[in-house]
Amino acid sequence: MFQGIVIVHPSLRLPAAVLALTAMLATGTAVQALPFGPSGPKSVELAPDNTADAITHFTPTAVQSLKGVHRIAISQLQVEYVTRSQGLTRKERNQVTVQYGLKPPSDAGLQAATDKLYDHLVAQLQAAGFEVAPRAEIEAAPSWRKLASVGKPSGGEFKSESGSGRLFVAGAGPYYFYPGDLHLGTAAIGWGFSQAHITEQALGTELNAAVVTVRLVVGIRETDRHSQMFALLRTASSFMGDPRINVEAPASGLFVMTPGKGHGMTNAAGRAAFTVKDDLLFHEDLMSATLKDTGGAASTAGNIASSALFAGAILANMAGGGIGMKLYKSYKFDAEPPEADYLAAVDRNLAGVEDAMVAQLKAAAQ
């Protein structure tokens, strides 16, 4: 780690805050506590076997409508498996980007993992005292057929704000989103015409059940959060070259449309939800053992892990003509975790998240 003396020419007349942050960068000091720069979900290690701890990483919304809910109809359980992602850097694409990718398991393996998660969710709901409508009964309902007609097939390539990858639905059924879902980025416009939230209300009435949708995003995230100062400077510790698989916030959650509760007919945001608020890192390290640089000779893991190199680049940029960073560097790293290890980690961690969802739903229904 670089520990030398930073010399800045007096003619630069840099603001004191910039000088302070530059000094922190050169010494490797963390800057996450600074009260400026964009903020987002924090990265925390998931404890899938500790439901009480997992619950602390959710945000409940409109859960008062769940009082007295007994019968559940699971409209869809979708899992987005991200295979290429900008990590935590997507808000700073105008500066330095680090793109991580991994070779995913086979489609058959991912579909089987998704189906297993559905079976686990059903078992947990039943153990919690809920009646779960059979899938065949749901699929026979007129409103479900309407939803299915606007849905898209399971297992397709999928792009969102989380990155690119594959999206699977339990039972290999169609998937749909709610209008205005920001997780989809500009693609959300195309979903606005389906009015899925209104059709879910009708489905709930037909089945005499609360309609549940579960979305889980298996993303790729750096272990550290990054900070940025007025969009000018950033800390090299943002790019430690230590990506982890995670359950991603805020795209993951359990959403409930309750018929006859007076909400949701025209506003999808009115549905009850338990949304993951923190990026929940898997305890298992699935990427580092096979992580390889695929971006060329100028992009190495050392570039990402070295605070000295990044601090030096900032100083050189400043000395060369101003405060604004114009590094425009991009690094690419790929990993190929063993399929069995990846699927086992998905099963353990996502099942733990489902347990936390069911526990919150049970508490709200009582």
The average pLDDT across 1-12 equals 34
20 lies in some domain: no
11 lies in some domain: no
8 lies in some domain: no
Across 3-17, 100-114, 177-191, 352-366, least confident range = 3-17
The average pLDDT across 29-56 equals 69
Tokens for 157? 């390539």
323 lies in some domain: yes
Mark out the alpha helices in the chain (DSSP H runs): 16-27, 51-55, 107-127, 135-140, 142-150, 188-191, 196-207, 301-305, 307-319, 339-365
* C-alpha–C-alpha distance, residues 61 and 54, integer Å: 17
Contact in structure between 288 and 242 (CB atoms under 8 Å): yes
Please tell me the predicted confidence (pLDDT) of residue 99. 81
Residue whose C-alpha is closest to residue 74's, from 156, 167, 153, 175:
175
157 lies in some domain: yes
Please tell me the predicted confidence (pLDDT) of residue 230. 32
Across 27-31, 106-110, 182-186, least confident range = 27-31
13 lies in some domain: no
9 lies in some domain: no
Contact in structure between 198 and 263 (CB atoms under 8 Å): no
Give 96's pLDDT tier (boundaries 50, 70, 90): low
Q: How far apart are the first and last CA of the chain?
A: 55
Contact in structure between 175 and 151 (CB atoms under 8 Å): yes
* C-alpha–C-alpha distance, residues 89 and 78, integer Å: 25
- Into how many domains does the chain fold? 1
Please tell me the predicted confidence (pLDDT) of residue 307. 41
Give 186's pLDDT tier (boundaries 50, 70, 90): low
Across 189-193, 208-212, 244-248, 310-314, least confident range = 310-314
Give 25's pLDDT tier (boundaries 50, 70, 90): very low
Please tell me the predicted confidence (pLDDT) of residue 195. 75
* C-alpha–C-alpha distance, residues 56 and 46, integer Å: 11
Boundaries of domain holding 277:
41-365
* C-alpha–C-alpha distance, residues 223 and 221, integer Å: 6
* C-alpha–C-alpha distance, residues 117 and 77, integer Å: 8
What's the pLDDT tens digit per position in 231-242?
334 444 445 567
Residue 254 has pLDDT above 90, yes or no: yes
